[in-house]
């Protein structure tokens, strides 16, 4: 049972059924109450009409024995001011809900009650009636029962007051049967008790089928994802329904996620392959030099071994930084002055083959000093490799941005290659040796660091020719 209700389809069906059940019960109760009230009001109206008819006969000074009270469906009582029954239907055998439960009339006094004698009578309401006058007030309505000709039923009684000459104030009680009301309410209730469960069953079935049809694409997506997980084939895609709804958007998003995952995995594979290739060359060269030095110490190239070791150290540092960036390492929250950073880093450089010019204006950013120093070093190293005579480093504030520019007077970067040079292990000059050209990770690291700091790194043509690399990072708020 628990497994059954763990299904979205089952929960949706149960939820819809419960909501409809509550709505049906509320609507059914409202209908029954409204039907009962309407029928009771109709019965009250019929009782009032019958009571006024008898009151009209009394107002015409008809004797009690001459009153027309033979309607078997309408029990009638006529009660005087002393609550004595003075006239009643002949078939009336028992009654309740009126002023008296008597069914056999008793002789009434022929002397009318004096004025003011009934001031304390509970039955008198409103102004005193004149002789022959019938009260226009709304009659009192009560519910009771009566036995007429051996049959007992519930009735709605109406009480109409009339003043009769020489008889005083009389009250006529006439009843209308509530059997039709009770039968109608009972029939409606029975219909609801039979119809509501059937309607709920139909709604539950339709909800089950509609939900199953709606969730069929989800099941197809789940099956395909399970197959992709089992096969580890990220080139596969889940089916996208043509419904243009939330499920279709889910499938589209899933395929986009798979595409991004496939791209990431392929990029990682290329990265591992390229890193292995880049590491193999200096390791093999260093091993060869060490083996030659071990066999022939006089032939050991110490400078070459040191250079290969430095290359290995730099490459390992680059790979480690890329791994940290890929893992989502935060840049930190320290304040860094780009101008001070550039002065310090450039003052420590040696063996630069091109002159470095500086145009530095103080501007602060929030981030990692070591990572920003690596970006500056990578950009200057790249410019040194391509410059003819000089490299220019500039910093400035530009609106909400802090800008660091590194330009050279070399040949520049072709426009078609300006995005590709930021890919990992990419070197545009295929003829350049690895010793001179590096591993192709510097610009990739620089762009990743820029992105981690909420900025961008782009390359354009320098005003005087050559390449202009522009790093933009949000400036620190003052």
Where residue 362 sits, what CATH number does that domain have? Answer: 3.30.565.10
Cα–Cα distance, 372 to 361 (Å, whole number): 16
Q: Are 291 and 281 in contact (CB under 8 A)?
A: no
In-domain check, residue 240: no
Looking at the fold, whether 433 and 317 belong to one and the same domain comes out as no
Q: Are 64 and 73 in contact (CB under 8 A)?
A: no
Q: Which residues, 6+ apart, have CB-to-CB distance to 363 below 8 Å?
A: 337, 338, 339, 395, 396, 397, 402, 403, 475
Backbone φ and ψ for 452, nearest 5 degrees, come out as: -65, -25
Domain end point (choices 305, 326, 347)? 326
Cα–Cα distance, 385 to 443 (Å, whole number): 13
Looking at the fold, whether 400 and 467 belong to one and the same domain comes out as yes
Phi-psi domain of 152 (left: phi exceeds 0; alpha: psi -120 through 50; beta: other)? beta
Q: Which domain holds residue 278?
A: 246-326
Give DSSP secondary structure letters for 34-56.
HHHHHHHHHHHHHHHHHHHHHHH
Cα–Cα distance, 255 to 278 (Å, whole number): 34
Cα–Cα distance, 405 to 449 (Å, whole number): 15
Domain end point (choices 310, 326, 342)? 326
Looking at the fold, whether 441 and 344 belong to one and the same domain comes out as yes
Average pLDDT on 273-295 reads 79
Q: Which residue did the predictor score with more confidence, 461 or 135?
A: 461
In-domain check, residue 193: yes
Number of domains in the chain: 3
269, with CB counted inside 10 A (0-12, 13-18, 19+), is exposed
CA distances from 406 to 361, 380, 462 (A): 14, 7, 9
In-domain check, residue 315: yes
pLDDT in tens, 98-140: 988 888 887 655 444 444 444 444 444 456 677 667 887 888 8
Domain end point (choices 263, 298, 326)? 326
In-domain check, residue 238: no
Taking the model in full, what pTM does it have? 0.50
Q: Give residue 379's pLDDT band: very low, low, confident or very high (50, 70, 90).
A: very high
Cα–Cα distance, 22 to 17 (Å, whole number): 9
Q: Give strand ranges (E) for 235-367.
A: 334-337, 355-360, 364-367
In-domain check, residue 232: no
Residue 150, number of CB atoms within 10 A of its CB: 7
Q: Are 320 and 298 in contact (CB under 8 A)?
A: no
Q: What is the pLDDT of residue 10?
A: 84
Q: What is the pLDDT of residue 244?
A: 80
Looking at the fold, whether 85 and 152 belong to one and the same domain comes out as yes
Looking at the fold, whether 67 and 212 belong to one and the same domain comes out as yes
pLDDT in tens, 357-367: 999 999 999 99
Q: What is the pLDDT of residue 431?
A: 37
In-domain check, residue 364: yes
Looking at the fold, whether 214 and 355 belong to one and the same domain comes out as no
Cα–Cα distance, 169 to 161 (Å, whole number): 7
Q: Are 387 and 352 in contact (CB under 8 A)?
A: no
Q: What is the pLDDT of residue 119?
A: 42
Looking at the fold, whether 169 and 57 belong to one and the same domain comes out as yes
Q: Give residue 467's pLDDT band: very low, low, confident or very high (50, 70, 90).
A: very high
In-domain check, residue 228: no
Looking at the fold, whether 87 and 203 belong to one and the same domain comes out as yes
Read off the CATH number of the domain in which 254 is found: 1.10.287.130
**pLDDT(430) > 80:** no
Looking at the fold, whether 264 and 396 belong to one and the same domain comes out as no
Q: Are 469 and 413 in contact (CB under 8 A)?
A: no
Looking at the fold, whether 342 and 213 belong to one and the same domain comes out as no
In-domain check, residue 56: yes
**pLDDT(453) > 70:** yes
Q: Are 78 and 172 in contact (CB under 8 A)?
A: yes
Q: Give residue 69's pLDDT band: very low, low, confident or very high (50, 70, 90).
A: confident
pLDDT in tens, 309-357: 877 887 888 888 877 877 777 787 889 999 999 999 999 988 888 899 9
Looking at the fold, whether 59 and 189 belong to one and the same domain comes out as yes
Q: What is the pLDDT of residue 122?
A: 43
Q: What is the pLDDT of residue 121?
A: 45
Q: Which residues, 6+ apart, have CB-to-CB distance to 86 below 8 Å?
A: 64, 78, 79, 80, 105, 106, 108, 170
Looking at the fold, whether 340 and 320 belong to one and the same domain comes out as no
Q: How many residues does the chain have?
A: 478
């Amino acid at each position: 049972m628990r497994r059954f209700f763990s299904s979205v389809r089952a929960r949706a069906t149960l939820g819809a059924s419960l909501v409809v059940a509550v709505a049906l019960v509320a609507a059914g109760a409202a209908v029954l109450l409204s039907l009962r009230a309407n029928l009771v009001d109709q019965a009250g109206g019929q009782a009032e009409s019958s009571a006024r008819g008898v009151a009209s006969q009394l107002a015409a000074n008809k004797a009690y024995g001459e009153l027309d009270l033979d309607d078997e469906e309408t029990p009638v009582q006529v009660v005087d001011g002393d609550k004595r029954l003075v006239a009643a239907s002949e078939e009336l055998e028992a009654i309740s809900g009126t002023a008296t439960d008597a069914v056999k009339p008793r002789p009434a006094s022929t002397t009318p009650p004096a004025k003011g004698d009934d001031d304390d009578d509970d039955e008198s309401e409103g102004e005193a009636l004149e002789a022959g006058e019938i009260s226009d007030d709304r009659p009192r309505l009560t519910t009771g029962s009566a036995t007429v000709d051996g049959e007992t039923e519930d009735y709605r009684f109406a009480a109409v007051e009339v003043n009769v000459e020489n008889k005083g104030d009389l009250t006529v009680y006439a009843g209308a049967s509530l059997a039709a009301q009770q039968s109608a309410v009972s029939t409606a209730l029975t219909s609801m008790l039979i119809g509501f469960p059937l309607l709920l069953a139909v709604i539950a079935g339709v909800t089950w089928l509609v939900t199953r049809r709606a969730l069929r694409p989800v099941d197809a997506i789940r099956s395909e994802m399970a197959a992709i997980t089992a096969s580890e084939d990220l080139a596969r895609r889940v089916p996208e329904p043509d419904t243009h709804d939330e499920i279709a958007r889910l499938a589209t998003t899933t395929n986009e996620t798979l595409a991004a995952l496939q791209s990431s995995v392929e990029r990682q594979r290329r990265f591992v392959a390229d890193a292995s290739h880049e590491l193999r060359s200096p390791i093999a060269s260093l091993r060869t030099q060490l083996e030659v030095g071990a066999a022939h110490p006089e032939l050991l190239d110490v400078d070459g071994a040191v250079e290969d070791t430095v290359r290995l150290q730099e490459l390992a540092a680059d790979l480690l930084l890329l791994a940290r960036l890929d893992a989502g390492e935060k840049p930190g929250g320290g304040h860094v002055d780009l101008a001070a950073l550039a002065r310090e880093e450039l003052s420590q450089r040696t063996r630069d083959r091109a002159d470095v010019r500086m145009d530095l204006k103080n501007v602060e950013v929030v981030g990692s000093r070591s990572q920003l120093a690596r970006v500056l070093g990578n950009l200057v190293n790249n410019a040194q490799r391509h410059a003819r005579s000089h490299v220019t480093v500039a910093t400035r504030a530009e609106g909400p941005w802090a800008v660091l520019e590194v330009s050279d007077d070399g040949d520049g970067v072709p426009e078609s290659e300006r995005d590709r040079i930021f890919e990992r292990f990419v070197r545009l000059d295929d003829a350049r040796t690895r010793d001179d050209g590096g591993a192709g990770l510097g610009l990739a690291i620089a762009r990743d660091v820029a992105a981690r700091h909420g900025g961008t790194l782009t390359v354009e043509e320098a005003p005087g020719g050559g390449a202009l690399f522009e790093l933009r990072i949000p400036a620190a708020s003052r």
